[in-house]
Amino acid sequence: MIEITESYVDSLAPNASAIKNGQGLVKKRSFVQLNRSEDGSLLFGECSGSGKSNYQCSADFIQPEKPILRCSCPSRQLPCKHALGLLYAYVGGGEFATAPVPEDILSKREKAEKREEKKQQQAADGAEPKPKKVNKSALKKKVQAQLDGLETLEKLVLSLVRGGIGTIDTKTIKMIQDHAKQLGNHYLPGAQNELRRLALYLSSDEDRETIYTNVMEQLTVLHAFIKKGRGHLTAKLDDPELALDHETTVEEWLGHAWQLNELKEYGLMSENVELIQLSFLSYDDQARQEYVDQGYWMERETGDIHRTVQYRPYKAAKQMRADDSFFEVAQVKSLYRYPGEMNRRVRWDELITRVVEAEDVECMSAHAQRSYADVFKKVKNQLKNPLGDKNPVMLLHVSDIKQTDQNEYVVLDEAGQQIVLDDVCASHHSTVSLLPLLPVDWTKDAAMLVMFEHRLASGRLLAQPLTIMKDAEMIRLMY
């Protein structure tokens, strides 16, 4: 018997429009036939549409952690509204008549089973996948092009610094934008994005002090990337067989898209992991020219906080599935971790869900950091790396939440050490304004998920509250 919730179906949808349209089909009673297999592993049916004949849609749960949704409609969105509507009908208690599994589904299952058997047989025989052949000549040309791109970038950065930020005008900004375009020909997407970000800072309407602070910080990032990237690429040019750097983020900065088999090869995979999403945000990253969906998840057993990141380029956003808030426990068969430091990016292919229980929240709260002195050390070490995440996220134990004479909110640990709360730029949303709405007893002896930010101009380290946990309950301020 298939056990799914509406929240789980929402997580399968490519976007909010697909959710709305799928639910709309159920409300309009567009499904002329609803069936399920005798063993309950398959849902299938017919839905009336704009075509001459009804659309045949199905949801195959023969592998519960990796359901396959199919439909005969011409939609380019996967899954389409008809397949989602089928699941919403099931979740809503629709009557599904028992019927034999259609022949085409049986055929597809058989082919998938044979592929899986072949994989298992190869694994049992100890057959290693054939290593990908490296075209040394092509690799050398690419690496040389990247080094040339870094040299061009370095000349630009040095000219900006020598000329002084105060002398930068619209003509210079146009030149920076042109250089960013050129970096695309040098296989340097990381540098391209950060150079665009520099141009955006210089074009912003903020006060001059804020602009200069952001620009100086951005120039520091570019300088660090040039230095780190050049050293790595030079070593690769000397030795084409050089292994990928699986400890830092330099490969991503240089445009490498990590494959799951590579992460597994470097020991960056864990099995049978339970994850609970603590916070979620979406924003428009104009420098990357992409929409970004970012979720923060806690690994239940270890207390490690990971992040999922989905990039949706402007040009393809309508065809891509957008990530969304997730309110259940994700039971992941294989969890892949990207190289990095705090809040590593993670991915998975398959999951099944279960309801979040009170003991899950209590377990997460137990992982909260109790000493703010230790927290400061960890955050400062993270911020020392110019190429690292500038906004680390941690779970803190909060002894008390107070408001100062300057109308600032602060959280205190058991030793009386305090951290100032404020909205940070990276979140793109405000949550501090919600603190007065919390129940009084939630301000003491609680756990709070926060996102840190270092204000360069004032030298202050601030934190924005994302989620608060008290006893066996959780309130997500940014969800």
Domain of residue 445, CATH code: 2.40.50
Least Cα distance to 112 among 45, 41, 10, 14 occurs for 41
pLDDT for 426 equals 74
Residues 58 and 148 in one domain: no
How much of the chain is in helix, strand and coil states, percent to nearest 5?
Answer: 40, 25, 35
Residues 217 and 278 in one domain: no
pLDDT for 362 equals 94
pTM: 0.84
Residue with tokens 């099931």: 90
Residues 115 and 217 in one domain: no
Distance CA 23, CA 39 (A): 26
Residue with tokens 């075209």: 135
Return the SS3 of 39. coil
Residues 339 and 377 in one domain: no
pLDDT for 126 equals 60
Return the SS3 of 191. helix
Beta-carbon contacts of 373 under 8 Å, excluding residues fewer than 6 positions away, are 415, 417
pLDDT digits (tens, 9 = 90+) for 118-159: 877 776 666 555 656 667 788 889 999 999 999 999 999 999
Residues 387 and 346 in one domain: no
Residues 229 and 275 in one domain: no
pLDDT for 376 equals 96
Residues 268 and 346 in one domain: yes
The stretches of 164-295 forming alpha helices (DSSP H) are 170-183, 189-203, 208-238, 250-253, 260-265
Residue 243, in any domain of the structure: no
Backbone angles phi, psi at 201, to 5 degrees: -60, -45
How many domains does one find in the chain? 4
Residue 443, in any domain of the structure: yes
pLDDT for 318 equals 79
Least Cα distance to 434 among 479, 477, 469, 400 occurs for 477
**pLDDT (tens place) for every residue of the chain, 479 residues total:** 577 888 889 888 888 888 999 999 999 999 999 999 998 899 999 999 887 889 999 999 988 888 899 999 988 888 899 999 999 999 999 999 999 999 989 999 999 888 888 877 776 666 555 656 667 788 889 999 999 999 999 999 999 999 888 888 899 999 999 999 999 899 999 999 999 999 999 998 888 888 888 999 999 999 999 999 999 999 988 887 778 899 999 999 998 999 999 999 999 999 999 999 999 999 999 999 999 999 999 999 999 999 999 999 998 887 788 888 999 999 999 999 999 999 999 999 888 889 999 999 999 999 999 999 999 999 999 999 999 999 999 999 999 999 998 899 999 999 999 999 999 987 778 999 999 999 999 999 999 999 999 988 788 999 999 999 998 899 999 98
Distance CA 6, CA 32 (A): 21
pLDDT for 322 equals 83
Residues 113 and 197 in one domain: no
N-terminal to C-terminal alpha carbon distance within the chain: 31
Residues 317 and 409 in one domain: no
Residue 129, in any domain of the structure: no
Residues 10 and 117 in one domain: yes
Residues 120 and 13 in one domain: yes
124, 157, 188 - which closes a domain: 124
Beta-carbon contacts of 27 under 8 Å, excluding residues fewer than 6 positions away, are none
Residue 246, in any domain of the structure: no
pLDDT digits (tens, 9 = 90+) for 59-115: 999 888 888 999 999 888 888 999 999 999 999 999 999 999 999 899 999 998 888
Residue 362, in any domain of the structure: no
Residue 447, in any domain of the structure: yes
Residue 314, in any domain of the structure: yes
Residue 245, in any domain of the structure: no
356, 380, 415 - which closes a domain: 356
356, 382, 413 - which closes a domain: 356
Residue 185 structural domain: 136-238
Residues 390 and 344 in one domain: no
